[in-house]
Structure 1
Amino acid sequence: MQEYKLFWGDSHTNIHSRHMDDLRAILDHARALLDFWPIAYYPQEYREEKGFRYEDWLEENRVEREWRAICDLAAENDRPGEFVIFPGYEWQGDGRWGDHNVFYLEDHGPLIRVNSLPELYREIRRRGLKAFAIPHHTAYIVGIRGKNWDIYDGELSPFAEIYSNHGCSESDEEWIGLRANRHMGPGVSGGTIEEALDRGYRLGIVCSTDNHTGSPGFYGSGLMGCYAKALTREALWEAFSERRVYGVTGDRIELSFTVEGAPMGSYVHHRGSVHIEVDVRGCDALDRIELLRNNTLIAGYFHSGRWSVPEGDDRILFKLRLEVGWGPTPEEAPGLPPREWEGYISVPEGRIVSVERCWRSRGQWSEGPGGGTCRFGFRTGGHGPEGKTPSEALIFEIEARPSDRVEISLEGKELRFTVAEAMKRSRVLFFPDEVKASIRDTYGLDPELLPRDDPFYFLSHKAKVHRAVPEAGYHTSWEHTDPSPPRGVNHYRVRVHQRNGQVAWSSPVWVENL
């Protein structure tokens, strides 16, 4: 794996007609969060007849104009070695085949307006296009936007989305079910990722956001990791073809997975016992690694309880997450503008090694790593994903001694603690005086006469400083030998779980046991 570098992308940012005048801001946000961005232009719209709404292709002239703008954006802003863009669009056809995102290696490919997947595959091949058609939310009901695995071309569809804003398509067993979309759900048997692998398909696994907010890399809705030799279209395309890809729910869990020395996505000929190696570098405390053979859990490693907070005073690496948001709903505070936050984190005797951006919406900023101080700004407000609590976050990886000071300044409030104290507990900041002023202005009430104080906390925007995790908690390696694999072709893959609920899925490695 040393010849490859890990790059991050979101292959499912839906760009609608309403976003066309905002492409530059969307592009800037993508650059701030991602290494590569296969755009997913959305050429469908809801139409209305006699009050009934249904989805269908956009009007053809409009599609032609908007698709040209998408292709121009990709052609003009692709920067090898810095930020790579692929032009692409979401294909739904007539809704019976499973949704696929079509991406092109080269600029200005056609938007193929056909209604069946066999026609789409046929047109790509007939025209000699360098294209992929990537299935997503596959576990919806087959024939109604779920994936029909009877129609599958492994060369044109080398991987599929296992997780997105919709939920998880790994199985029909509702572990992280497809429950986000009340119309398309629930997830059921027929189109799951497990069933595709059971058919013997060489299907890689990714996650991507499938968000419609104009915010590439929307945190918590999925990201795609890719091991490529370089950050160029051609190198990434080769990695896509070889299925050196994997997916995470949100946190950028660095996952290296090899079987008999071959990286994820490989096909190996082998005789006898099979040796597996896994290396994980997470963003929070690791909980466990699960090894699956042919979709069955055969071994695992529990990291919880195998590490402890350092007791000496040597310099260590640790990760500290700062998350801001919460606050009143739009109904509770009508007309309240988004909350703007500015602040900094400082470790005077230490060094900020990296900064991971866990952003859901545009309007955030942060300085890069280096030195002992990092300034940042957030914008929060409104509703979060699928009605959940809105929040934005940064994860700082810091090198310092347990006795060194950490200072956080945020909107006029300050927190000071040592690294050792940061690893013992979490902290929260809130703003009761702001809430009291809002109660006076909005409702004409005297907050001091209210019978309880809890509204001053409930309605406050908040900042949480999560408990810091030392490197021993978020990094581990594990090896396992499968002593007696069945004859024939077996596929191995791993799942990684963090303490905070974030998950990573590897693509499989296929081993033909001779």
Structure 2
Amino acid sequence: MNTYFGDLHNHCGITYGFGSLENAIKCAKSQLDFCAFTGHAMWPDMYEKAPETEFVVNFHLEGFQKLKDHWEEIRKEVAEANSADFVTFQGYEIHSREYGDHHLLSIDDELPLIYRDSPEELVNDCGKDAIAIPHHIGYTPDYRGIDWRKFNSRISPVVEVYSKHGCSMSEDAEYPYYHNMGPRDTRNMADEGLRQGHKFGFVASTDHHAGFPGSYGDGIAAVLAEEKTRESIWEAIKSRRTYALTGDRILCDFKVNDSYMGSEITANQRKIAAHVETEGVLDKIILYKNLNPYHIINGEMFQDVNKEGCYKIRVEMGWGNGALYRWNGMCRTEGGTIVDCRTYFRGRSVLAPSKDETYDADNINHIETCSERKSENEFVWRCDTVGNKSTLHPATSSVVLKVQGDLDTKVTFEINHKTYTATVGELLKYGYTSHMEYYHSQAFKIFKAVPESQYIFDFELEDSTPEKDCDIYHIEVSQKNRQWAYLSPVYVNREK
């Protein structure tokens, strides 16, 4: 299996949102393997229009009509974006106080735009191979959070457990809800759905509303699929071979008795195996059994440094004021090679329209997101950033380079005409920062290198003690930089 990364739930100007579909597709292609471009389509049980709800009701109705008026051309543009290098899916969203919000997805480019009162009716009546993914499930019941009593895993093999709204894994999970829709509710967390006996996999997506799918830190979905095709990725999603990522592309492989995450098997003897490759310093890996910690690995346990092999180096750019700022970066190695590089670009952040804010509807995220591996020794990138909204809301972008060599390998960075050179050995001890101007300016940071001995983790263990008729095993991974991975469960039935 290969691991592919995508965004299954994001918005742009095709309904209420900002930015063109054309630019959203361009941004998605720059750093994702697959994407759906979801328009807001309906809200069957929307509030009655009143003075206090007039703005909300109006912008929803206008957005729904906009999608309806342009559905055929939207569907065509998404279909034409599908290629051997980039996979697209069709889809749109239903709001619901009764069922919670879902986005309908399909592999079929002829997906019709129909209107129904529930997600199940949409899936059953659309006439195509489709699923409905619940999202921001943690809101209060009857306030667009999920109703687990009405959840149907047949139409919803996976659940979105993280997005810009926050994390829905559990009451104590990092990233609480702070959107104006309110706090997260214990009754609607993912762990409560599992506790009630539902079976589903985990995904994340951005729910970004300004035409920038995959915007870093807002959530992406990872799938384990045989190849990068619609059919293969679709099969992986429906089989729950998925996991949710907050932002960093942590590579994860998790099996019980050689069955992938998302599987349902029957066995009393369980051989559990996991492989994790982080993008930064590990905080912890937790294997849960029936939602209780079963095996924990702490990052502090790993202090050895490999004297040769691979090392990961992160460069972060941004800060300064809110003006758009262009970065031109280059990394070159001597005595070593760049074996992999990942970009983590952010767009301007918008979660939902507000009468208190105005945006350039068409050009809000016409920002640069380019990168190219010139050779095994050189990687270049170009991106735009804006200032952080607050000390708790970063808008920085970054790249992570995997360099193969030894402690004497030299790494040179040229970033906006500023140059810094250090050996891998030096970067293991110290990072580096530089400001572009003398006062309150944009800046970049080169982080300390992370050695292979501190970002690759494998473990195997056996469990021969069934606790329930169906035991649930899942893994959560956290890094010191607050980036998480939530791996879909393996469901193991007791042998009779």
TM superposition score normalised by structure 1: 0.86
Q: Tell me how far 1:48 sits from its aligned partner.
A: 8.3
Deviation at 1:385, TM superposition (A): 8.9
Given candidates 67, 86, 90, the residue that maps to 2:89 is 86
Task: Return the letter of the residue paired with 2:86.
Answer: F
Quote the offset at 1:254 in angstroms. Answer: 0.5
CA root-mean-square deviation: 2.2
Match 1:413 to one of 412, 418, 429: 418
Q: Helix, strand or coil: the match of 2:237?
A: helix
Paired position in structure 1 for 2:66: 62
Spell out the pairing of 1:36-75 with structure 2 (5 A cutoff): 36-43=34-41, 52-55=54-57, 56-58=60-62, 61-75=65-79
Q: Offset at 1:286?
A: 2.0
Give the equivalent residue in structure 2 for 1:213.
210
- Kept in 2, the 8 Å contact 1:352–1:369? The answer is no
Against the structure 1 CA distance between its residues 21 and 493, is the aligned structure 2 distance closer, same or farther, given a 3 Å change threshold?
A: closer
Which AA in structure 2 matches 1:71?
R
Structure 2 counterparts to residues 28-427 of structure 1, below 5 A: 28-43=26-41, 52-55=54-57, 56-58=60-62, 61-79=65-83, 81-93=84-96, 95-114=97-116, 116-117=117-118, 120-173=119-172, 175-179=174-178, 181=179, 183-271=180-268, 273-310=269-306, 312=307, 315-328=308-321, 330=322, 337-361=323-347, 362-368=367-373, 370-384=375-389, 388-427=393-432
Where structure 1 has 5 or more consecutive residues not aligned to the other structure, the ranges are 331-336, 434-455
- Contact 2:28–2:213 (8 Å) recurs in 1: yes
From 461, 465, 471, give the equivalent of 1:484: 465
What per-residue deviation string (whole Å, max 9, x for no partner) do you get for residues 111-155 of structure 1?
Answer: 2323x32xx313432453211100011111011110011112212
Residue 194 of structure 1 contacts residue 295 of structure 1 at CA under 8 Å; is this kept in 2? yes
Shift of 1:12: 1.3
Deviates more, 1:220-229 or 1:366-375: 366-375
Deviation at 1:460, TM superposition (A): 1.4
Aligned residues of 2:168 and 2:184 also touching (Cα < 8 A): yes
Shift of 1:20: 7.8
Measure, in 2, the Cα distance between the counterparts of 1:412 and 1:470: 28
1:190-220 per-residue CA deviation (whole Å, 9 max, x = no partner) reads 2111111112111111111111121110101
Q: Which moved more, 1:16-25 or 1:147-156?
A: 16-25
Letter paired with 2:41: P
Change (3 A) 1:23 1:317: same
Q: 1-side partners of 2:237 and 2:405: how far apart? A: 38
1:70 positional shift: 2.2
Amino acid at match of 1:317: C
Q: For each residue in 1:361-390, what CA deviation from the matched residue of structure 2 results, as whole angstroms up to 9, or x when unmatched?
A: 241221126321112222112445997132
| 8 Å CA contact retained: 2:341, 2:400 | yes
Which structure has the greater CA radius of gyration? Answer: 1
Aligned residue for 1:53, secondary structure, equals helix
Offset at residue 58 of structure 1 (A): 3.5
Identify unmatched segments of 5+ residues in structure 2.
348-366
Count of matched residue pairs: 469
Note the 1:428-443 alignment, pairs <5 A.
428-433=433-438
Aligned to 1:436: none
1: CA distance, partners of 2:200 / 2:374: 37
For the 8 Å contact 1:321–1:466, the answer to whether it is kept is yes
Tell me, what secondary structure is at the counterpart of 1:54?
Answer: helix
Distance 1:490 1:50, change over 3 A: closer
Q: Secondary structure at the match of 2:283?
A: strand
TM score, norm. by length of structure 2:
0.89
The 8 Å contact of residues 9 and 37 in structure 2, kept in 1 or not, is answered as yes
Look up the match of 2:350.
none
Q: Distance in 1 between matches of 2:490 and 2:62?
A: 40
Which segment drifts farther, 201-210 or 373-382? 373-382
Distance of 1:32 and 1:385 partners within structure 2: 27
Question: Alpha carbons of 1:74 and 1:385: their partners in 2 closer, same or farther (altered >3 Å)?
Answer: farther
Residues 174, 187 of structure 1: 8 Å contact kept: no
Q: 1:461-500 maps to which residues of 2 (within 5 A)?
A: 461-500=442-481
Structure 1 residue 431: Cα displacement: 2.8
Does the 8 A contact of 1:274 with 1:485 survive in 2?
A: no
Q: How does 1:447-458 map to 2 (within 5 A)?
A: 456=439
Deviations 1:368-421 (A, max 9, x none): 263211122221124459971321100011112211211111122211111100
How far did residue 91 of structure 1 move? 1.1
Query: Could you report, residue by residue, the CA deviation over 1:152-203 in whole angstroms, capped at 9, with x for unpaired residues?
Result: 2212100101111111111223533122x0x212101221111111121111
Q: Is the 8 A contact 2:161 2:190 kept in 1?
A: yes
Q: What's the CA shift string for 1:472-491, capped at 9, x where partnerless?
A: 11111011222422141111
Tell me if the contact between 1:41 and 1:70 (Cα under 8 Å) persists in the aligned partners.
no
Q: Is the 8 A contact 1:9 1:223 kept in 2?
A: yes
Whether the aligned pair in 2 keeps the contact of 1:352 and 1:397 (CA below 8 Å) is yes
1:363/1:379 contact within 8 Å kept:
yes
- Mapped to 1, the partners of 2:123 and 2:418 lie a distance apart of 58
Change (3 A) 1:402 1:193: same
Q: Which amino acid aligns with 1:102?
A: L
Pair 1:230–1:265, CA change in 2 (3 A): same
- Percent sequence identity over aligned pairs: 29
Which has the higher mean CA deviation after the structures are superposed, 142-151 or 405-414?
405-414
